[in-house]
Amino acid sequence: DVKVTQSSRYLVKRTGEKVFLECVQDMDHENMFWYRQDPGLGLRLIYFSYDVKMKEKGDIPEGYSVSREKKERFSLILESASTNQTSMYLCASSETDRVNEQFFGPGTRLTVL
Amino acid sequence: GEDVEQSLFLSVREGDSSVINCTYTDSSSTYLYWYKQEPGAGLQLLTYIFSNMDMKQDQRLTVLLNKKDKHLSLRIADTQTGDSAIYFCAESRVSGTYKYIFGTGTRLKVLA
């Protein structure tokens, strides 16, 4: 059974704090993605990675960075959290194949006070 | 633009059919997907259709693709309370980056 896990389901941080969101997949997928989900806006891609140590900006990378030191782990970093980063964060992974199905973690609901 | 658009809400009675609509913008999209998000969970792939197909049926689900109008729909027959969820359409571009563009999501509420 394929699995994508995220380090926390709920997280509360203060403005200005550095925040780490961790994602781990056990399917040996090459591709990993970080999205944020906001009501009425759907999912917006923050960053993605095709391989270890490789990263590319998505549609809304400002205020975020990522790290992929190992194939199974993709971290999202908020260098200095702000209240407008309060959101649901979803991690996904996919194999490089014809269908390109993405497998999602359960999400981390981050609140920045 | 790159928007994939959906209506935000749909309410149906149990046993009726639900039709969720989506419009997309990129005629070069290779695959179009429907994902389901249940409360408190991540997204899960329901079904997908290749861009050279017009229709795909999978048990209670029927996907219709109108390439001319760039319109995708998902029909759920005999809708059950367990179908209550948010449904996202998504397109995968030909650019080879394996990125998706997601729609805004449609919240389906099934009334008993």
Say whether pLDDT at B1 is over 50: no
SS (H, E, C) A33-97: EEEEEECCCEEEEEEEECCCCCCEECCCCCCCEEEEEECCEEEEEECCCCHHHCEEEEEEEECCC
Q: Which residues of B touch A96 (CB under 8 A)?
A: 98
Q: Are A21 and A7 in contact (CB under 8 A)?
A: yes
Nearest to A100 among B6, B88, B92 (CB): B92
Integer Cα distance of B50 and A4 in angstroms: 26
Integer Cα distance of B41 and B49 in angstroms: 24
- C-beta atoms of B104 and A41 within 8 A: yes
- Range picked from A41-55, A66-80, B42-56 for highest mean pLDDT: A66-80
- C-beta atoms of A43 and B41 within 8 A: no
The pLDDT tens digits of the residues spanning B66-94 come to 988 889 999 999 999 999 999 999 988 65
Contact with chain B for residue A56, Cβ under 8 A:
yes
